[in-house]
Amino acid sequence: MKKKIPKHIAIIPDGNRRWAKKHNLKPWDGHYEGAKRFEELVDEAFDLGVKSITFWGSSVDNLTKRPWREKKALLNIYEKYFKKLMADKRVFENKIKINILGKWQEQFPDRLVNLLKRGIERTKNHNKFNLNFLLAYNGDDDILTAVKKIINKKYKAEDINNEIITENLMSNVVSPIDLVIRTGVEDDPHNSAGFLMWQTQNSQLYFTNLQFPEFTANKLKMAIEDFSQRERRLGK
């Protein structure tokens, strides 16, 4: 593999429910299998030299429009995974900073909110790797949040610039993304809910028909190799 590794990868893990249906399982079984896959992908990405990974765990619709049993499964997965994550000594040895973005504090039970807050607090001074989770996140909410904050701060129109917009985003700690990977597209490559509109304006996109539980570490390696062979012109 050539050594042009993306610094920042974002993953949109589509296809968990369809994978479960294909295997005659319940929808939440697909989410549990997807959670196992994510751990594998994080390890592979950091080993390859990626510095930041952003993972879209759920949109607001995932938590408000899906059946209660499925929402409960997602919340259980988050609790189980973050407990395991915070017990993993590699998070501290490798200085992995955890960021959690979205309306999770409004959507999650207090016990889970407090667990996630502790993870953020314990890793806030880490500076080698970033692990960003988008939970109860929609991109349109992200932009609207910035607009409302800027209005409330009464900026003059001529003073508003890229830096001011960035600092007022809900996702203001997320750096520009080099590569967005979306799984489970079934030949309909698309974005959803304005996924990180500000940070993906110059991103390379990688779509695969593989549903997320089928997207292994080796498949991630292939996506990064594909990225490494592209020429990024950036308007030049």
The C-alpha atoms of residue 220 and residue 75 are separated, in whole angstroms, by 26
Say if residues 159 and 83 touch (Cβ distance below 8 Å).
no
Per the rule left: phi > 0, alpha: psi between -120 and 50, beta: everything else, 192 is beta
Q: Is 62 a catalytic residue?
A: yes
Of 62, 99, 130, 132, catalytic: 62
Burial class (CB in 10 A: 0-12, 13-18, 19+), 191: middle
End-to-end CA distance of the chain: 26
Could you list the beta-strand ranges (E) of 163-218.
179-182, 204-207
CA–chain centroid gap for 194, Å, is: 13
Q: Is 202 a catalytic residue?
A: no
The C-alpha atoms of residue 193 and residue 58 are separated, in whole angstroms, by 11
Of 14, 29, 142, 178, catalytic: 14
Residues taking part in catalysis: 14, 62
